[in-house]
Structure 1
Amino acid sequence: MPPSVIDHHQDAELSNNEAKEFLLSLPKERGWRTSHLYLFQNFWCQPKEIQAIISLQKHFQAQENDLLVATIPKSGTTWLKALAFAIVKRTHFNTSLSKTSHNDHPLLSSNPHDLVPFLEYKLYANGRIPDLSTLFHDQEPRLLATHLPFPSLPSSINSSDTCRVIYLCRNPLDNFISVWHFLKGMRPKTLPSLSFEDGFEMYCRGVVGFGPYWDHMLGYWQASLEQPQKVLFLKYEDMKEDISVHVKRIADFVGFPFSLEEEKNGVVEEIVRLCSFENLKELEVNKSGKSIACFENKSLFRKGEVGDWKNHLTPSMAERLNKVMEDKLAGSGLSFKKYVPV
């Protein structure tokens, strides 16, 4: 069963007055679904997230073999969580979707965000300091997730030689469209409307949750070059092109490689089908409920396609964002295919 959050004791890192004064000291910009985003530790986030992040950074203690799924929002997070869980837990549950066999796999009855919980959105949210020894009793590795940039991860993760981080990013053209569709319906009616053009302008300036996008990617990219045994850097488009190869790559990285017998018996393909967008989207658990506060599970599954940006961005918009990313990533060795509208 998925872990539940337990209030170990209330975290009083910042009193209400201190929190207000602290926010006043930070640069701010218009928010996507809140009145403002604040520049905290060189990335943009919402006020409630800041308190959780401070608590997380102070209290979280990494354990040997912890596995952290890291993404910027709307880059394939739900898919990667499902894959990581299915790969690591494959000897515990039946991964086959065959109608002739009984299947009680947790992914069929629990949203991936319940099985691989966010540190800042769930475990340390709302003043909680969870007792992780209780939540993850007898679970190894512990499967956790975050949207935090690499430099802002808890020091116990960054200093650990045995924690592993899987990072997934997405071409910024599609990422913007996914962010826009995800957040536009959640903007309170009490706030002024945010046009598509305004949202695009904010994104190009890096003003988006946990952005700038390029800084987020570069942090994990550089870490993957310096510590390839610790950080695995993946691209959404590459995974969509050949997911079986990447499932095996993830399994090798986390220390759970597929045996020849498993490959012969089609276990890789079973995991691919189990975690596919099409399968997850049609499950009842993903059509209702809120596994992440404020976000309905059904909103986590829109299209899952590569290239949907062509249906929304003008050629000049696409060219501008391509140019922004080329400039920001120049000299890093990280690049994306430059997609040109037809």
Structure 2
Amino acid sequence: MAEENSPVTSQHSKKHAPALTHFQGHWCLSQLVPNVISFQKHFQALDDDIVLASKPKTGTTWLKSLAFSIMNRNRFTLSDSPLNSSNPHDLVPYFEMTLYKDGQIPDFADVSSPRLFSTHLPYQALAESIKQSNSRIVYIARNPLDVIVSLWHFITSKPERADWTLEECFEQFCRGEEAYGPFWDHVLRYWKESSEKPNKVLFLKYEDMKENAKPHIRKMAEFMGFPFSVEEETAGVIEEIAKFCSLSNLKDLEVNKTGTLAASPRQTKPFFRKGEVGDYVNYLSNSAVERFCKIFDEKLSGSGLTFRMSLSG
């Protein structure tokens, strides 16, 4: 294994796959390494900061829209929400991909508190000020088999990555050699922190939220310091936010059908595909599922963390 601050480029990289570098115990997208170092060195967390953390394609866009709506519900009605005209990723920026991009050191002087940020970084790669302060982290996890399929669709939506095969994507996950991975290390560390410091890290599961969003939105709001009042609950505010932030609604907005991100030329449409639970059965063979489940179960053994993964048919 590489030394903590001695990046090593992946030897398994395919020409169509994103370039990865092993850095500080995880596989980082190579072009982001300088950004991560700058973020770790310069970011100073405030006690009322809220950080949304996730692996890619685990429900990040949904989590951002929910958190933004919860936090800003007294500033905007849903009909006036900036989410109607801006993609969630522009409203809740990433540390490593946006704020500290290309050597920038952002000035947060004009950003009102509480501040809302996001990251795909594993816990150990967060700036020390986040870990040491009273800032809070909301983490979302998802069935890794659905993540593999969703990530493959997302990456291959770029013309220059169109020839990257699902088999190559799957093999990377089996090796633990995927962006911000290994997947199991990422989820286990945030799971451990949420168990030991429940006031610091809230651990959510995508599948549970899809099944019944209301209690999880309520829990998010309480954790973030924006609890719903009895009057709001009676008036159906939670249900309204759940409906507004649903994939079907966000997907239908013009900004998410034909727009591009403000911080990059990336089109917004690929962020809204299907969002279904268990869609992996339409793409992965039973033998592939069995193989991955065996690896994953061994990695999660004894942690108490489980994901519902089953064979097709």
Q: CA deviation at 1:26?
A: 5.1
1:143 aligns with 2:126: no
1:111 aligns with 2:87: yes
Correspondence list, 1:127-166, <5 A: 127-134=103-110, 136=111, 139-160=112-133, 162-166=134-138
Q: CA deviation at 1:337?
A: 1.6
Match of 2:34 in 1: 51
Q: For residue 204 of structure 2, give the secondary structure of its aligned residue in structure 1.
A: strand
Would you say the 8 A contact 2:202–2:223 is kept in 1? yes
- Greater CA drift, 253-262 or 284-293: 284-293
Q: CA deviation at 1:331?
A: 0.8
Q: CA separation in 1, counterparts of 2:105 and 2:209? A: 35
Runs of 4+ with deviation above 6 angstroms:
none
Match of 1:184 in 2: 156
Match of 1:11 in 2: none
Match of 2:294 in 1: 323
Identity of aligned residues (%): 48
- Greater CA drift, 194-203 or 319-328: 194-203
Change in CA separation of 1:284 and 1:140 when aligned onto 2, cut-off 3 Å: same
Correspondence list, 1:323-342, <5 A: 323-342=294-313
Match of 2:22 in 1: 39
Change in CA separation of 1:32 and 1:156 when aligned onto 2, cut-off 3 Å: farther
Match of 1:206 in 2: 176
Match of 1:78 in 2: 61
Q: CA deviation at 1:296?
A: 1.3
Aligned residues: 308
Would you say the 8 A contact 2:49–2:114 is kept in 1? yes
Give me the TM-score of the superposition, normalised by structure 1.
Answer: 0.86
Match of 1:233 in 2: 203
Would you say the 8 A contact 1:58–1:154 is kept in 2? yes
| Structure 2, unpaired ranges of 5+ | none
AA of the residue aligned to 1:108: N
Would you say the 8 A contact 2:62–2:246 is kept in 1? yes
Larger RCO of the pair (alpha carbons < 8 Å, separation 6+): 1
1:216 aligns with 2:189: no
Q: CA deviation at 1:291?
A: 4.1
Give me the TM-score of the superposition, normalised by structure 2.
Answer: 0.94
Change in CA separation of 1:171 and 1:273 when aligned onto 2, cut-off 3 Å: same
Match of 2:268 in 1: 297
Match of 1:69 in 2: 52
Match of 1:9 in 2: none
2:165 to 187, 195, 202: 195
AA of the residue aligned to 1:331: G
Q: CA separation in 2, counterparts of 1:33 and 1:154? A: 31
Structure (1 or 2) with the larger CA radius of gyration: 1
1:273 aligns with 2:243: yes
Q: CA deviation at 1:185?
A: 3.0
| Structure 1, unpaired ranges of 5+ | 1-20, 96-102
Q: CA separation in 2, counterparts of 1:330 and 1:303? A: 30
1:244 to 189, 207, 214: 214
AA of the residue aligned to 2:310: Y
Q: CA separation in 2, counterparts of 1:293 and 1:227? A: 35
Q: CA deviation at 1:53?
A: 0.0
AA of the residue aligned to 2:103: G
Q: CA deviation at 1:292?
A: 5.2
1:30 to 4, 13, 24: 13
